[in-house]
Structures are given as C-alpha cells and as structure tokens.
Structure 1
C-alpha cells in the first residue's frame, strides 16, 4: 500500500506512520518540517495554510491518505481537492465532538451533528472545525471513498496534549495523590496505536462512513488507569479516592485540571465516556490493556527525560499542588473545602 499521511510527525499521525511502516507500506509524510519525520519515510514539506503551501503534493499517487487536521476546515478542503484524482481513499481522523452537544449516553454514529460547520471555513471552534473537515473530505472523495474516524479521548506514547503524561508525572512524584472518584467510574479512550491499526485496516478493506472509535464500556476505569500509573512509576504514590462533590466544590475543573476525569452522571461524562462503539468493534477494533498503554507511555516519557511535548494550541493540564493539598485536607476532615 502507498500511504500519504498529512502530518505524520506527532502523536496520532506518528502512530499511523509507524504502524504503516511496520506493515511494510510505502509511506510519504507531508509536514511543515518543525519536527523530524520518522525513519524510513519519504518527507515532503509545505504549510497547508499558506498560499501555494501544497505545491509539494502536486505529483505522486497513493492508495490512501490519512489526515489528522483539527484547525480551519479549508485546509482539509484544499488538500482533498488536490488529491481526489490521485488517491484511492481519504481517512479523516475526526472527533466525537462533531455531535450536537451533549449527546446522551449510548449515542451512535446516527446522533445529530453540530450545526454551522462548513468546509470553506476559517478556524472557529473544535467541534465545527472537525465537522467542517469531515464535510471537506466527503465533498472531494465522496461518501464511498471517505472514512471518518470519530475518535474520543486519545492516549498513548507521543501524546502532546498532556493528559496521561500529567498523571504519570504526578504519581512519579509520590505522596498522597488526589484521585477523583468514584474508583469504578468507567472511561472510554483509544490508544493512538490502536486507532492507527484500525484506520489502516479500514482503508485496506475499503471501509467508509463514520465510526465512533474508542474502547468499549468496561475496558477501563479511573481506578485501573491511575493504579497503573502509580504502579509503573514506582514513586510510592498513595491514591486518595475523593468524592466528586469535594472536587467540584473546590473549583477544580474536570477534564483539564484533573485530566481524563469528568464527574459521573454529568452530560460531560455521557458525551466523553458513553459512546456506542459497536460499529467499530464489529469492524475489527481491538484495544490493548490500559496497563500496556500506561507502561509504554511511561517508557517514552522517561526516554525524553520526563518532559512531554506540549501542543501550543492546547491548554496546560493539571491541578496546582496547593489546591490538591487543600482538597485532600478537606477530604480528611470530611467537609467541603
């Protein structure tokens, strides 16, 4: 298979490239040159947001394109139009954020979609940008040649958003750790490498249309995730499971200040950790154990000296130590902070 990855040097794109190379595919990456391309690929350089920035893609043909773009939809539009006669399929890594907020627990790919999206738009907000990217791919390649990978939370090595790296760094520091409860709170996420494997299987098999892509219910909980972090880092961290009410009363923001976690019973939890993924599972989705994702991410993080890369367009994650200490003290006293 001849594969073109638009991006391909960070997180999900890099996982796609490494998976394709492991299969012996002929891989080309198109990127801005800010990061080194993985070994064994052909690298083309350009800025898809600039006039003439796609010139390096004016020649060549590929069996499939994988695109992870998450800003102005017009960048997907321009690339897809340029490639539609020279590529067999277009796989766009989208997001479950494209559903009209907030989708109820158990939502499928048929749930209502966010309004106001356009393939011609400049950057607006994440949900409409991702939906606009979907529309751009569909317009150029048609429904029968477009695969829409609607990912949820993505974790794993090369993460440049800061969620799992923050928990690993925090548990490595040791001491009492504010662990947001309940311990058995179900999580849905996908390891970037499992996303990559499923996507490449999909383009090889000729899949098309939208798929919610994250782990099935029961695959992981806050307990299994944080206990894996504490075990692999070996810092002697003591997880102090704390009621959601205490955490929220302290003004701590779910999802960002305590990454991955959102309170049970909330619209946010249903939307982020309540998708129906049966269509993707039926199409071959397999998710490695949470312990493997955590351990491999820790190995990668240690190889970088413990400092993970951070996308400049994503907010920093984590709660301040003094805030954590305040909530832990309140929990010990059995009262709201």
Structure 2
C-alpha cells in the first residue's frame, strides 16, 4: 500500500485530501503543529507533530513516515517549498498546493505555461501579508520547476477560490448568511462578475491525480469546470435553502451611500479570474457539478456554528444602500 504524507491535513484542503487518499487505498500520515482539532484522531491516520517551517522537524517527519507521496498543503513561503523538495527529493511525487493568485498577468482564461506569473522580490518572499500571497505562491512554483530540473518528482496544483465543507475563510459563508437571513441581497455591479471557484473535494482529487499521473516540473490549474457568476452563486444558495430572495445590484455611486467599495464583498473581482482546467482534465480529472457542490457546502454551513455575517460589509451599511436604490426606483 502506498504511504502518503499530508503536510497540514486537519482543517480544509488538507482534511479533504486525507479523506481522498484514504478512499483510494493510501496509508496516510499528517504532519502539523497540532494546533487544531484532529478529525482523524480516532482513525488509522498517523499524526506526526512538528513545525513545517523548522527544517529539523520536517526532516524528522520524513524519517518517521518514509512517504512515497507528499502533499504539501501549507507551503506559504518559497523557502518552505525549496526545503521540502530537498527533504523529499526521493519520493515518487511531491505535490504542493499553489494558487491561481500566482498568475500576475490578466488573461481569460489563465493557462499553465502561457499566462505570466507574478514576480516575487526578496521582501515579498518572506512577507505574510495578503498583498504578497500571489508572488509567494508564484515563487514557490518556480522552486518546484527548479527541483524537477534536478530530478525531483515535484509538481504544483493551482486552485482558484476554494469552497466546500469546513471552509473557514468565510467567503461563501457571507453569501449563505445573506440569503438565509434577508429577503434582499445586495450584489455589487451587475452580478456578472466571475471569480472562478474550486470545490474542495475536486481540489483534493486533483492533488491525488497529479501525484499519480502528473509530470514533474508541471503546474496544473483546478477549478469548477463550469464557472459561475456572483448572481448565479446567490441563486444557487437560495435554491438549496429553498428561499426566495431579491438580488439588488449597486454600482459605485450607490455603494458610496453606505461607504462600501465593491471589493469589500467576498468573491467580487473587477476583472474576471478564470483558469483553464484542460491540462488537469487530460489526466482524467473531472469536477463535481456545481449544484451538487453548492448543496453540500450550504448543508454543512447550516449544521456548523460558523457565522457568515461577520464577513463583508455590515448589514447596516448595506441597508443604507438599499434605501438609496429604493428612492431611485
């Protein structure tokens, strides 16, 4: 049986990746600091505790597990990828979770090997800010390419915005909260904004498939095969909840009445962000139908104790905008 090591493994992408690997016959170990509840504590999943930013801890985990496959879910700095590709230079596959944010060039769609990546300065490489996230992921991908040139079976998977059960980011939670608790949902722009999303179980499947079938030194985009607009997201949530809501669109002038910027809304982006998934599909990957993925996402949110209202604009500010729009109607 193939031994897999998931770096991370208990919260979101890593949690689903552990399940995906186990469902496909892998023995799985996870390596993390143990700061979050372990959903696999009562299973055969081995837990190695340590800090992945500590080179000695990472080497100890490699020795303890002797993995055939490594899935790296929490490499946030280029140095961490470079270290991991040295520590795991003899595995059958090392796959790092990168991001669609690694693309620095705007194109529709963004394609691996064609669309330019972000540059990354030395300062950005060690920074933890949101602004440097894309550059850091891009530099991590370049570390994968360099390692592959040296014979390491290293690959990268680039998800766009990931959603699904146990998502702690709040990006979709906000919209579920609005649909569940309000008759009118304020949507910036005309509702046709597209910021490509990726269902988490499909991301987990992509990581496994790339480990099994991917080419060293290559990156693979992953996202829903059918991208949906922001209006379609709201409509889809309403169908799952069996709610009837009115979508109200607002431009910059109307949003200003509530001191709101369009970028304050989760999953809003001025320029469309769309990733080609043809390369990954060529390996035999396919995605979950969006309606099914959204149903599972909403159902888990309802069962959880998460509160999506804390993300995005305050409802009182939105109410002022809705009031202005009513006077203009």
Where on the TM-score scale, by shorter chain, does this alignment land: which range? 0.7 to 0.9
- Aligned match of 1:211: 220
Q: 2:111 aligns with which of 108, 113, 121?
A: 108
1:204 CA displacement: 1.3
**Unaligned 5+ residue runs, structure 1?**
309-315
2:303 equivalent to 1:322:
no
Residues 1:47 and 2:55 are matched in the alignment = no
Q: For residues 152 and 210 of structure 1, what CA distance do their matches in structure 2 show?
A: 13
| Number of residue-to-residue matches in the alignment | 316
**CA distance, structure 2, for counterparts of residue 136 and residue 169 of structure 1:** 40
Return closer, same or farther for 1:61/1:51 CA change in 2, 3 Å cut-off: closer
3-state SS of paired residue (1:52): helix
Q: What is the RMSD computed on CA atoms of the aligned residues? A: 2.7
> TM-score, normalised to structure 1's length?
0.83
Paired residue for 2:234, among 226, 232, 238? 226
Q: How far apart are the structure 2 equivalents of 1:243 and 1:145?
A: 49
Q: Is the 8 A contact 1:6 1:29 kept in 2?
A: yes
Q: 2:27 matched to which residue of 1?
A: 26
CA distance in 2, matches of 1:116, 1:305: 38
1:137 Cα shift?
3.2
Task: Assess if the C-alpha contact under 8 Å between 1:115 and 1:128 holds in 2.
Answer: yes
Give unpaired runs (5+ residues) of structure 2: none
Q: 1:200 aligned to 2:186?
A: no
CA contact under 8 A between 1:117 and 1:131: conserved in structure 2? Answer: no
Give TM-score scaled by structure 2 length. Answer: 0.85
Structure 2 equivalent of residue 313 of structure 1? none
Deviation (angstroms), 1:306: 3.9
SS at match of 2:56: coil
- Which string of whole-angstrom CA distances, capped at 9 and with x for unpartnered residues, describes residues 239-297 of structure 1? 32314345554553345x321122xxx4xx23x2x333322233333222222222212
C-alpha separation between the residues in 2 aligned to 1:51 and 1:199? 24
Cα distance, 1:119 vs structure 2: 12
**Residue 47 of structure 1: how far off its partner (Å):** 0.9
What's the offset of the Cα at 1:11?
Answer: 0.9
Change over 3 Å in CA distance of 1:114–1:183 after alignment to 2: closer
Counterpart contact for 2:224–2:290, Cα < 8 Å = no
2:36 matched residue in structure 1 = 35
